[in-house]
Every structure is written in structure tokens, then in C-alpha cells.
Structure 1
Amino acid sequence: MERIDGFFREGAQRIVISGSPGVGKTALAVYWSHRVGERFPDGSLFANLRGYDPSGDPARPADLLDAFLRALGVPPSIIPDSLEARAALFRSRLAEKRVLLMLDNAASAEQVRPLLPSSPGCLVVVTSRNQLSGLVAMEGASRLSLEPLTSPESQLLLRRMIGGERAEREPAALAELARSCAYLPLALRIAAERVSRRPHLELADLVTELAAESSRLDLLATGDDVEPTAVRAVFSWSYRALAPEAARVFRLLGLHAGTEISASAAAALAGTSSTSRADIARLLASLVNVHLLEELAPARYRFHDLLRVYASNLVTELEPELERRAAGQRGLAWYLHTARAANLAITPAWHELALEGAPPLDPTTFPDRDSALAWCHTEHGNIVAATRQAREWGMFAFAWKLPIVFWDYFHLTKSWAPWLASHREGLAAARELGDRHAEAWLLYNIGHALYDLHRHRDARDHFTQSLNLRRDRGDNLGEAWSTYSLGLVDQAQGETNDAVARYRRAKRYFDQVGDSLGRALCMTALGDAYREQGCHDEAIDQLRHGLDLFRALGHSHGEGYVMDKLAVAFHEAGHLADAHDHYQEALELHRRSGNQQGEASGLNGLGQLLDATGDHMAARSMWRDALMILDHLGDPRAADVRQCLARTRGAS
């Protein structure tokens, strides 16, 4: 702590904390960062660079920069694609700011370098097993090579955990126990917990047990082992003391792809009918109690990276391949079925989808939309990881269906980064599987993300590919959806006549197959296109038909969407009172359904109406609220609202 404080006082802008696995790099960096956090009024950014993740997939600097830029309020639509351009934009956004960045578990200087700001007011703290000499030599970083604790320090830590009286009785055994743990804090804490649970045994006997375990592992060690022998010995010593059920759960957790896991997902991996929620909670608690697992929040857990590697190795060594695959399928099936249940609670299903895998033994249910949304907020990172894992395991049907069942959440919350990442993984899986139906569906969903981001040329390309695939397969319903969406692109690019022709063609398909949702969307789109052509009576008539269909479906999201379009049509037709009422009703529907983008649209529309009637102050208030939402979403429509505010600046 004194050394790092010294670096800070001397004006260091980059600090590297290096050291062996389990030595406490992250704990030290986090503790110190919290102490100085108030010195950085513009905030802090944290990222796990996953440099030594057992998946072998370290975080990519371009992805980290994308996340940082979004956290800094940069709209996704203006985040460039190349690493170099993102790094430049990141540096410009941090210019003149005081921000603390913590980059944990870096693999190399090359991984870190694009993430470094140029502002002298920013501080970067990096942890790594690597010395990162390139950052010291080329970037002027100050480095602290964190050594294991000294023998007296290690003994003090053990004494505090196992009790001073017991430690004083056997000082030689205490010193030997500290040495056997290589003086590493992680190993010391796990060993101390193991000792404290056996108060009837002499320390010397327990040290002898640990020494025997270390000797056994020395015989099995290979040059590829990641953990130091002492750490592996402590892990193994504690692991072998677990009850068989707890040991099995620990091993199976090594199959989980994400960085965190819930108790319900762990139960799915375990997969035995006797494992109730109370049972799995008890088993996970036993792992937490011996420091083999960390509880982040109630019923939510995380491994230390070394323990994750250890569990991953154990499950490969001790579980037959058929059981590993069965457990993996159970975990993926749990995510697939639970994601489907959550998204059904958020919005009605757009289409039925046959799900892979047997329903989970203890399925998660959602009593309301809020609980479903909360689950999706927490789990969307795991959904992306599970999609990638399913593809790597060759379980391609899981890989393409997981992103599709999560689409309602992505679409509602405009979570474009995980939306695109998961769907692109799913698309690759569908192509490896040779499933043209799945490929067309994923291309279509990707197209909608690109359309939302105003990348209309790319959206058209994806919609056209999906249309061609569906047409080749004779999928009339799919063809109708792709045709409708190409109409949206036409309209966005000012080709309103072409859009009307597509909407009419798609509606004929939807009429033939009796798809009420498709009909409702086509009627809404036609009404909006008629409005753009100046045919307000026809527009209002079509939009009212669309509204009736959405109401019959109980689709509040769609109801709010068409209500917005009706308000605009009434406004342009000069029916201002009707326009005001419809905007207000649309706002209420958007808020009820959790549609933030729709809420911003309603606020913007009300602002336009109030501005037109001369109430400029009220209009600006609406626009400010809309802009706050759009900036939070990173929605490109924020630029239009900014123009409205700029145009009316100074108006009273």
C-alpha cells in the first residue's frame, strides 16, 4: 500500500501490479482503488481482461473499448468498427477528465496498450501475472512486483483464522503450514478454513496430510499446469474433504461458461431429481464456507480464476465425456427454457420455437414483467457466453436458439452489443449445422439491430439475405416478415412508394396464414407511410385497424407503438387535441411495457406538438427528458432531439 501510494504521489499515470497466481493482486488493487476513488470525480471504469481464462479466450481490446465508450455515454451508432479508431475516440472522450481505470488480469502489454488514455488526469491500474515490461519501458508505467507474504505475515493470517491458542501450542507446525501454502493469501485462507473445521486434530497431523497431498500432485504434475504445486495441493486437500455431493457440484461448475452463476443454473448442471433448491443452496454454501467459491449476492456465485481452472481440470479428469456432455446440455437447456419463460413474460411470443433439451427439473418462473426483466438484465452476459460455448461444443441447435428466445429483451431494451454478439455466434452455428431456416431467422434479427442503429444499407443486406433464403425454402410466412422489414428500410431511406408496395405484399401473406401480429404491424406501417404521402384520413383509418389488432392480442408494446403513429398523424392533420391525447396514452403504454425507446419517442412527439402551439419551455422540458433516455440507450435518434433543443434555444 505504501509503495502504490508513493507511485501516486509521484504522479504515476500507469501502475502495474504483477505477481504469481493467488498472491492477491486483484484484492490489493481493488482495495487501494476504493481508497483513492474520490480523487477521480469523473468516475471509474473496471474490466476483467480474462488474460488467463480457462476458456483460452481473453477479452479483445476492441470489445472492451466498445463497453467503455458506451459507459461514457457514446451512442453506439457513432462507435467506429476498427480498434485504432475506437482507441482514438476513447482517448478524446477522456481528454481533460479525471477517471480511474482498473484493468484486471491482463495477458500482455499489447492487450492493455489500446486501452490507455492520454489525459494526464487519468490513472490506470493494471494487474497481471506477466511483468508487462513493455508498459514499463514504453509507457512509463510504475510496477510493483507483488511477492508472497513473509513467513511471519502468513503465520499471523493463519493465527487470526484458526485461533491464537491453537496456533501458540504448535508454532513449528504453524510455520510449516504457512510454508506449505507458499505464503500465498488464497492458499492460506483455504488451508486455514480446512484446519479450523477440524479442531480435534493436531496441527502437525494436518500438515502431514497436506504434505502427502503435495507429494501426490508432484508425481502427477505436468509442464502445462497453471497453478503452483502448493496452491494445487491446498485446493486438492480441501476438495477431497468435501462431501461427495458437494465435490460433484464443484466439478460441474467448471463447465459453466460465464463469469458468474446462479443457484438455479448450478442445480441444472447437477441435474438430479433429489437436488431441490434447498439442497443446492446447502451444497453451494458448503463451498463458500471453505473458500472454494465466492458468494457475490444471495444465490449468485463466482470462482477465483485459479479455482475455476482447477474445477475445469477436475471435471475433465474425473467426469466421463458422456456425463460432461449431459451436464452441459442440462445447463444450456436451463438457460434456453428460462430465457424463453422470461421473454414470454416481457412480451408475447412473436413465433413458436421448438426448444432443445428436456425442461429443467426446477424451472425458473416469473410472476411479472419486472422480475423477468431483472433476470434478463443479470443474465444477458451468460446468454452470450452460453451461445458461444454451445457452438464450441458442437451443440449448434442450442447456439442458434438461445439468442432468438432472448430477442424480445434485446429488442425492448435496445441492448445492441449483446444482441449482435449472440446472434452472430448463432448465425455461425446455424451455418455449420446447415439449417437455412435458422440462418434466415438470425439474419433477420441482426437486420433489425442494424436498422435500429440507422445502418440502413447493412440492414437491407441482411433482410435481403433472409428473404432469399426463405423464398428458396418456400417459407411464405418468413418471406412476409422479411418483405415487411425491407419496407421499413425503404421508408427510412425516403422510398415511400416502394415501402407501401412491400407492406401490401407482406400483408397479403399475413392475411393468408392468419398471422394477426404481422397484419397489425403491416397496417401500422401502411398508415405511417400514407401519412408521409399526405393521405391523413387513410393513414388514421389504417392505424386504427392496427390498434384494434394489437389490443385484441394484448400486445401493449405494439399498442404503444401504433398510438405514437396515430398521434403524429393527428398532429399533421391539424387535430391537435386528439394528437395530445394519443401522445399521453402512448407514453403511459410505453412506460407500462418498459419500452424506453418508445417513451422517448412519445416525449419527443409531445415536444413537437407543444413547440408548434407556442409553448416552447414545455417543449424543451419534453425534449430534455427524451434526450436523457436516448443518450442512455445510445440511440442515434438523440441527434434529432439535440437539433430541436438547439433550434429553440432562447425561445420563451
Structure 2
Amino acid sequence: MRMQVLGPVRVWHGDDAVDLGSSGERAVLGLLALANGQSLSRAELVDALWGPEPPPTARNIIQTRIKRLRQALEPGRQSYSPSGVLPTVGDGYALVTSTIDLDLERFRQLTSDAATAQQDGDFHAAAALLAAALELWRGDPLADVPVLATHLKVTTLAEQRRTALVRYGEALLATGEDATAALETAVADQPLDEAAVALLVRAYRAAGQRARAFATYHAIRRRLADDLGIDPGPDLAAAHAALLTDEPAAAADVPAQLPIDLATFVGRVDDLRRLDKQVRTESPVVVCVCGTAGVGKTTLVTHWAHRMTDHFPDGQLFADLHGFDEHGAGTDPAEVLRGFLEALRIRPARIPSTLDGRMNLYRSQLAGRRMLIVLDNARDAGQVRPLLPGSLGCLVLVTSRTQLTGLVAANNAYPLRLDLLPDAEARHVLERRLGTERIAGEPAAVAEIVERCAGLPLALAVVAARAATYPDFRLAEIAAELRAGLGGFASGDGATDLWTVFSASYRALAPPEQRLFRLLSLHPGHGVTAPVAAALVDEPLPATRRHLAELTRTHLLTEHRPGRYTVHDLLRAYAEQIDAEQIAAEQVDLAENADDDRAAARHRMLTHYRTAARAAAVLIDPHRSPVGPDTDPVPVDGIADTEQAMAWFAAERSVLLAVIAAAERVGLHEDVYDLAQLFAVFLQRRGHYQDLADTQHAALRAAGRIGGPTVQARSHRGIATAYFRLCRYDESETHLQHALDLSRECGDAKGTAYTHLAFSTLFQEQGGRDEPALGHARHALDLFQEIGDATGQARSLNILGWLHTRLGDRDAAIAACEKALARLEELGDRHGQGMTWDSIGYAHHESGDLDRAIACYRRAIDLLADAGDRYIGAESLDRLGDCHAAQGDLRAALDAWRTAVTVLDDLGHPRADAVRKKLRQRR
């Protein structure tokens, strides 16, 4: 499949054009194509297409457009199969560019290869590559999608084409070819681009058109004077001088202010490549390297800048802006400009006294030059803006603990967030500083040091420095020091002491943000949402969102996914160690008893999770017995239907596991039991059976402390369900027997009935136990009828129908299942209907009525997908494949089996091997 966005949006299958529908569909496809394979959320798509006032149905419109695009791009895809071109990713979509020959990807690759060739001095190859890149353009980008004409990515793409034209002209000029046409086109779009005009002047001179060269120079000189009040920069002046003398101007001394490079620098390969790309593609003039304190921003930027000095022949400027020093608000930009101007050989008497005057002179001096400017440790965008040059020939690298989103939004800066080091790179850092032999000698100690340093380069550097200073110290002893907390990272140097470094960021916060930062240490998971944070601090959600934004801006939090925030382990330790005395010394308003404040915050957090989990669980399965008070669940924003409920549990899965474990550690047994039982419906539907077993074991331990046999029996049934799905049948049976004994002991007829039902499900899975399974199902049905439980009756009838099929009685099977289906439809239980349609399909399948079986299985698959039950849906897909194979439709069979294997593999279920065997045998 070929796709074009460099011009009107077009797609071809081979030589056949694809009908992409309306401009709306092309707009969505174009946006996804410009995202470089990254996903875009529905909110991002809505914002791009409609701005701040979208129609009420905007999200539905997006879904409809995606559906139409999938039909157009993948006409042979089965409706139940996942899209291989436009898959759903979280709450959004992505275009899998690896499946498409995309002209934009080819353009980027060709320009990147041309930049490499030009750096290597192969201007002939660079010119050929750039010519091929420019040939791909068939008009303005996304020319037939006017709604996106002013979108930042579209306008940036147009600027990249102009940059390619300039580079093409430069390469042609270097090879002696006529470069005037390419450069004339580039200059027409940006007549004040001094670097491009200087090249055009040289191209006219090389072509023997001296009069046009002089005219071009004098035209821009007048415009610079009239519009900007400045004289031509050095590049233009040199081109003019060459016209006058036919000799190139001599190079002047250039500043080289970079700090010393770190000889032991290792890793950060991907980050270095991303920086390399900014030079090769002439992307934004400004690159913002942001990250938390101690993450190695300055070290990375300094190392990269030393590697790239050849790309900036006019020199490198460096300034530490001291944005987070203990006192003051950082270095005055006017003072930085004075230093820069002096480095550019401007006599002190000529340097203006005002900030505006210095800024204008600075930009005039940089016009037409290729310089690298490094601005380290910036506090905010306001401190940086006066230091930005005005021409594209320079690159500015800014480091900051804040996100500097103002520069990204207003100055088209490229944001590069520096993350913590992975364990392998952290170990490599220690190995580079301490030597391979010492590292290899104590692997367990090294692993602990890496873990306790939490991927923070500064922490690794401090520990490595201590180990290097005391070579006789065993690494195990140093690791033991780190267990005491941040004290083990003390260095005696304010620039490297972790407590001091973290405190500089903490002190810059207002009191409400400081309190939230401290209380976030109570959250045990690696992803807190705004509603949870609001519960911790007991404040309204809008105010909490503002606090979170500030903590994220200063990189004390990381927003790793939209709306989800994490804090790394050393910052968490710092937050835990801030005691009331230190906070009072900093004049922060703190509750009289910090322990009470933290206990109350923990209670509010757990109440939030219980409330949300209960709302979600009832939506997923309204026919189960909800845990908690016998009242309707409290409505929760964002959890309004089954899809949102499943999405909430999916997003919070790892967090809930950590919350349950943490609650158990501090003895909050009611929270443990309730959360585990509410969580169970999701874990079972999605096939997370080991998580189900673990949380149900926690519930069982809690049940022994808070309740009698009824709650214990329920936990035993939960564990049995998990073990059954994990094919641990003996252990499942043991727990079911415990559940049965406990339910009978306390006269719990409903619990007893559900336990018999579980026994029936377990026995029918084991060969030769269909008769006892049938007995348990009948016993369950009788009990459910006695207590009037319609849901239990329907589910018992469904299992009876399945077992009748297994025992060869098709008529009894269909009769039982149809009764079950009628009751489930009355109840509105779509999950139960899905399982029952699967049972009816099985009955028709075994009797040889394959057409009816296929129709039933498809109905089951749709219903089970709506209910989010992946495992039983995969079983239905497996049986659907068997039916297609029996009919001789091998392609449909393979499609169904492949989808089933994908789901079962994702669940880690052993049944995947059996389905995979069918695929191997039929290929």
C-alpha cells in the first residue's frame, strides 16, 4: 500500500486508488500519518480538527471516520479481527507506517541520508538524494484538507521542504552545478533568510550573473535596514565581499565556551540520536532538554555538543543560568548577553545598556552564522527568550528542570525529555567508573546499588565516587549504606548532594504543591491520576490539576501518559523523609500531627479506589453481588458505561495490585477484601488469572480477620476460579471444597449454589467427569430456584446445556440453553448471553449443523467482546475456526485461529499451544 501526504492525501493498493471518502476521513488519516507512527488520542484528534469548541458528537465522529478508513484500507479484514493498519491504542489510534510506503517517510529518510552525505563531503550524493526527496512533493502538504492548513505539523512540513531546497542549492553549488532555480524558490518563500540569500548570491556569481547577485544583495540589505533596523550578517557580507574581490573572506576567531566533556560518559544512545536528528533535518532552532534534578541533562548536552563542534564552524556559546540555585531567580539575561557579545568580539563600549539593545545586537551578530548556544539550568521560558537568535543557522540547547512548554508552544522548540536510566545502562555507568573487575566481583551488591539509585545518574555518580575514593570498601558495604535512605547519597558538595539538589526543586514550589508532593509518597503504585491526588489532599479537582501541572512542569512528577503521573523512587524517599521540623523551618503550613494527616490522606485514597472500583464492577457485571453497602454505587466521572469501566480497570490494574498489597502491609483488611473482590470481575474477564489468584489469596487472609465463613468461602471460590483457568485443577478443587464446607456451615444457600456451579465448570473441563459435573449443575439449579436467583438459574441452565452436548443429548442441550438465553435476555445480561450462544453453537457444531454453529459462534464472539471477556471469546474463536475448517474454508479458519492464538498468548494461557498446532498443521 502506498500513501501520499506531500500534496493531496492519496492511498493506492498496487495501482488502484483507494476511495478515502470525505475530507474529514482524509484529515484524520493525514494527522495520523504526520504522527511518525505514534498514537493520537481521540481528544488530540478532536482538538486538531475542531479546536476549543468541538461539536458534542466529535468523539463519535472520529470513531465513525476511523471505521470508514479501516474499511477502505483493509477491505479483506474480518470484522472481529484487530486492525493491522489503524489499530486502537489506548484511547486513540495509530497509523502503522511499517505497513505503508509513505512518501513522508521516504522524504525524511532521503533528507537524512543527504545530510550524512553532505557531512562526509559527498556533495554529488547529497544533491542526488535531495533531488529525489523534492521529487516526492505534489503540492502543499495535505493540500486537499484545508482544515489543517495552519496546523503546526503541516506548516513545519512546508518549512522542511524549503530547508531541503536550500540544502539542495548548497549541494549543487558545491558540485559546480547551477543552483539558482532551487535557491530562488527557497528565497521567494522567506526573503529575509540571510543564509539562503547568501547562497543565492554565490550561486548567481558562480553562474556568471554578477548583476543579479549584486541586485539580490542590495535588495536584502535595504529590507534588513527598513524592516529590522540591522545590517547584513557575516555570511551575507562575506558573499558580497567575494563579489567585489572574487576572494573568499578570511575566517575569524570563534568562541569555544563549552564545559569539559565527561570522559566516562556512556549510554543515552537514543537521546543522542534524537539530538543528531535536529542537526540533520534543521528542525526547530531551539531544543529543550528537560528532566528531573540529577537526571544528567547538562552532562548529556555537553557531551553531544563536543561531538558536534564541526557542524557549528562559527563557534559555541555557553551560559549557566542558575535557575535553581538556593538563592535568587537565576542569572539576568542581560548579563548573559553581555558575556555573549564580548565573546563575539564586541568591544565593551559598543554593548548597549538595555536588555532590548543587547538582544538586537546579539541577533544581528548571529545572523547568517552557524553557532551552537547552550543555555544550562534555565528556570523558565522568560529567562531563555531574550537569548534566542533570530536565524535558522544556529541551534540553541536549553536544559531545565521545568518543561518550558512556553518555548515549545510559542517558539516551536523541540522538547526532549530525559528519562531515568534503565538498569543495563546504570550498571554500565558503574562499570565505566569503577572497572569491569570490581563490578563483576560483587554482582548482588551491584544489582542492589543499581536498584537503589533508581536510574538517576547523579545518584550513580555519587555512589561511584565514594567507591572510587575508597577502593578497599566492599560494594556490599556501600549498598548497605544506601538502605538507610538519602543519607547514603550524601557527598559533602552542594552541587552533587541529593538532598540539597532535590531541596532546590522542592523550595521553588508553593505550599499547596509541597503538601501534595509529600502526600504522593503514600501512593504505592507507579501511576497516580488527578482524582486520586485530589483525594489525597482533600481539595477540588481543578485546584489539584493545577498543583499537578506545576509538579510536572518542575519534573518532580512525570506525566508518563496523559492524566497519569509518576514519581521516581529517590524523590519518593525524599518526600517521605521531609519531617515536620524541616517543613516548619521553611514556613510551610502543616497539620499539627503529620502522622494523622498522612493516615487521613491514605484513608481518602483507599475510599476513592473502593468507590471507583465498585462503580466499575457493577457496570461490568450488574448481576453479581457487589461488595460493600447495600446501596447503589456512587457515580464516578469517566466511568459511565461498560467500556469505560473496563478501561478504568485496565488503566489502574498495576496500581490496584500495589494498593491492595500496601493496604495489607498496614493492616487495612476491609480495604484489602473489598478491593480484591471488586477487582475480580475485571481480572476474570480479561484473563489475568495469576493476578486473580494473588488478590484472592490476599482477600482470603483479610477475610480471616474481618468476617466469618461467608466471606472466606467467597475468597476460596475466587482462588478456585483462578486456578481452574490456570489449569491447576487439583488446587482448584481443594479450594472449592473449602468453599462448599464453609457455605454449608453457615447456611449460605446462594454461596453453596455458586460453589456447586463452579464444581460443575471444573469437572466438565476434566476428561471423564461429565456425569458428576451434571450432578453439581442440577444441584446448583435446584438451590437457585429455591432462593429465586434468576441469574444463577440461567447460568446453571447454560452449563447443563453444555454438558448435555458433551453427553450426546443435543435436544436437551438446545432446550436448556434456550431457557437460559430467554432469562438472560430478560435480565439484560449480555455476558451470560455470549456464553450461552457459545454453548448453542457448540451443540450445533457437534451435531454437524455447521452453518448454524458458525452463526452462533459469531454472535457469541460479538457479545463476549462487548463484555470484555477475552478468554471465553478466544475459546469461541477457536471453535469457529474448527467449523470453518470442517467446511473447507481454510482462510477463514486460519484467521479465527490466529486471532485466538494472539489473545491466548497475551493471556499466557497454555491452551494457545493447542490452537497453534492447528495453524501449523493447516498451513
TM normalised by structure 2 equals: 0.47
Conserved in 1, the CA contact under 8 Å of 2:618 and 2:624? no
Instruction: Pick one of 666, 672, 675 that aligns with 1:393.
Output: 666
For each residue in 1:119-148, what CA deviation from the matched residue of structure 2 results, as whole angstroms up to 9, or x when unmatched?
Answer: xxxxxxxxx9xxxxxxxxxxxxxxxxx999
The answer to whether 1:611 aligns with 2:779 is no
Equivalence for 2:506: 239
The answer (yes or no) to whether the contact 2:323–2:379 under 8 Å persists in 1 is no
Q: Show the 5 A alignment for 1:126-165.
A: 156=319, 158=321, 162=330, 165=333
Match of 2:844 in 1: 570
Q: Which whole-Å deviations, capped at 9, do the CAs of 1:390-427 have from their partners, x for residues lacking one?
A: 11121100011112101121111101232223222232
Deviations 1:418-454 (A, max 9, x none): 2223222232222344543332222211211111122
Structure 1 match to 2:527? 260
Corresponding residue number in structure 1 for 2:460? none
CA apart distance, 1:461: 1.3
Cα displacement (A) at 1:237? 4.6
Corresponding residue of 2:902: 628
Q: Which residues of structure 2 form unaligned runs of 5+?
A: 1-261, 275-294, 307-317, 325-329, 340-374, 386-482, 582-589
Residue equivalent to 1:430: 703
1:266 Cα deviation from its structure 2 partner:
0.3
Aligned to 2:114: none
Is 1:372 aligned with 2:639? no
Report the alpha carbon displacement of residue 457 of structure 1 after superposing the two structures with TM: 1.1
Write the letter of the residue equivalent to 2:872: G
CA–CA separation in structure 1 for the residues paired with 2:595 and 2:484: 24
CA distance in 2, matches of 1:532, 1:315: 67
Deviations 1:537-582 (A, max 9, x none): 1111001111112211211111111101101112222333322321
SS in 2 for 1:296: strand
1:595 and 2:869 matched: yes
Question: Structure 2: how far apart are the matches of 1:567 and 1:363?
Answer: 38
Displacement after TM superposition at 1:170 (Å):
12
Given that residues 591 and 599 in structure 1 are in contact (C-alpha distance below 8 angstroms), is that contact kept between their aligned partners in structure 2? yes
Instruction: Name the structure 2 match of 1:32.
Output: 269
Shift of 1:34: 6.3
Q: Distance in 1 between matches of 2:515 and 2:810?
A: 67
Q: Residue type of the partner of 2:531?
A: S
Query: What count of residue pairs does the alignment treat as equivalent?
Result: 474
Distance between the aligned counterparts of 1:357 and 1:488, measured in 2? 31
Q: Deviations over 1:446-491 (max 9, x none)?
A: 2111111221111111211222222222211111111111121221
Shift in alpha-carbon separation, 1:253–1:538, aligned structure 2, 3 A? same
Preserved CA contact (<8 Å) 1:410 1:416: yes
Question: 370-379 vs 570-579, which deviates more?
Answer: 570-579
Q: 1:603 to 1:307 in 2, by over 3 A?
A: same
Give, in angstroms, the shift of residue 592 of structure 1. 2.6
Instruction: Give the distance between the partners of 2:569 and 2:550, measured in 1 at CA.
Output: 19
CA distance in 2 between counterparts of 1:621 and 1:147 reads 48
CA distance in 2, matches of 1:166, 1:349: 69
Matches of 1:300 and 1:461 in 2, distance apart? 41
1:512 alignment counterpart: 786
C-alpha distance in 1 between matches for 2:562 and 2:773: 51
CA distance in 1, matches of 2:822, 2:837: 11
Selected match of 1:458 from 731, 734, 737 = 731
Do the aligned partners of residues 285 and 616 (structure 1) sit closer, same or farther apart at CA in structure 2, a change above 3 Å counting?
Answer: closer
Question: What is the one-letter code of the residue matched to 1:389?
Answer: A
Within the candidate set 311, 314, 324, 2:598 is matched to 324
Would the alpha carbon gap of residues 290 and 592 (structure 1) be closer, same or farther in structure 2, given more than 3 Å must change?
A: closer
Distance 2:773 2:890 in 1: 34
Report the CA distance between 1:526 and its aligned residue.
0.8
Displacement of 1:617 in angstroms is 4.3
Cα deviations by residue, 1:255-313 (Å, 9 ceiling, x for unpaired): 11112211111001112xxx222111111122223332222233221113221111122
Shift of the alpha carbon at 1:159? 5.5
Aligned partners of 1:569, 1:595: CA distance in 2, in Å? 21
Structure-2 change in CA distance of 1:160 and 1:380 (3 Å): same
Question: CA separation of 1:397/1:648 partners in 2, compared to 1, >3 Å: closer, same or farther?
Answer: same
Question: Match of 1:99?
Answer: none
CA contact (8 A) 1:190 1:290 kept: no
1:146-171 CA-partner distances (Å, limit 9, x unpaired) = 99999x99x95546885673665999
The answer for the alignment partner of 1:141 in structure 2 is none
1:312 to 548, 571, 576: 576
- Partner Cα separation in structure 2 for residue 315 and residue 549 of structure 1: 60
Q: In structure 2, the residue corresponding to 1:258 is in which secondary structure?
A: coil
Contact 1:356-1:398 at 8 Å conserved across structures? no
Give 1:197 deviation, angstroms: 8.9
Work out the CA distance in 1 between the residues paired with 2:565 and 2:535: 15
| AA of the residue aligned to 2:625 | H
CA distance in 2, matches of 1:357, 1:607: 44
Partner Cα distance (2:532, 2:902) in 1: 36
* SS across alignment from 1:253: helix
Residue 294 (structure 1) aligned to one of 558, 573, 577: 558
SS in 2 for 1:543: helix
Cα pair distance change 1:259/1:538, threshold 3 Å: same
- The alignment partner of 1:364 has SS state of coil
Describe the superposition over 1:585-625 as per-residue Cα deviations: whole angstroms up to 9, x where unpaired. Answer: 22222233233323322222222223333434433333233
Partners of 2:637 and 2:604 lie apart in 1 by: 14
Give CA-to-partner distance per residue, 1:325-346, whole Å, 9 cap, x none: 2111110111111112222333
SS in 2 for 1:254: helix
Cα distance 1:573–1:30, how it changes in 2: closer, same or farther (>3 A)? farther
The structure 2 residue matched to 1:406, chosen from 675, 679, 683, is 679
User: Identity of aligned pairs, percent?
Assistant: 30
Indicate the SS of the match to 1:295: strand
1:269 alignment counterpart: 536
For 1:25-424, list aligned pairs within 5 A: 31-32=268-269, 156=319, 158=321, 162=330, 165=333, 168=336, 193=379, 225-228=487-490, 230-271=497-538, 275-314=539-578, 319-354=593-628, 363-424=636-697
User: What residue is the counterpart of 1:64 in the other structure?
Assistant: none
SS in 1 for 2:565: strand
What is the deviation of 1:373? 2.2
Q: 1:167 to 1:497 in 2, by over 3 A?
A: farther
Q: Secondary structure at the match of 1:412?
A: helix
Amino acid across the alignment from 2:535 = A
**Alpha-carbon distance in 2 for matches of 1:448, 1:509:** 20
Per mean C-alpha deviation after superposition, the further-off stretch among 430-439 and 410-419 is 430-439
Deviation at 1:192, TM superposition (A): 5.7
From the superposition, tell whether residues 196 and 316 of structure 1 become closer, same or farther in structure 2 (CA, over 3 Å): farther
Match of 1:547, as an amino acid?
L
Contact 2:761 2:773 in 1 (8 A): yes
| 3-state SS of 1:341 partner | helix
Render the CA deviation track for 1:24-70: whole Å, top value 9, x for unaligned. Answer: x9xx9873256699xxxxxxxxxxxxxxxxxxxxxxxxxxxxxxxxx
SS at match of 2:559: strand
Q: Which amino acid aligns with 2:565?
A: Y
Output the CA distance in 2 between the equivalents of 1:284 and 1:482.
Answer: 47
CA distance in structure 2 between the aligned counterparts of 1:542 and 1:359, rounded to whole angstroms? 34
Distance 2:384 2:512 in 1: 20
Amino acid at match of 1:456: Y
Q: Secondary structure at the match of 2:522?
A: coil
SS at match of 1:623: helix
C-alpha contact 2:319 2:376 (8 A) present in aligned 1? no
Matches of 1:624 and 1:234 in 2, distance apart? 53
| Corresponding residue SS for 1:301 | strand
Indicate the structure whose relative CO is greater, using CA pairs within 8 Å and at least 6 residues apart: 1
Q: Which runs of 4+ in 1 moved over 6 A?
A: 34-37, 146-150, 194-199, 315-318, 356-360
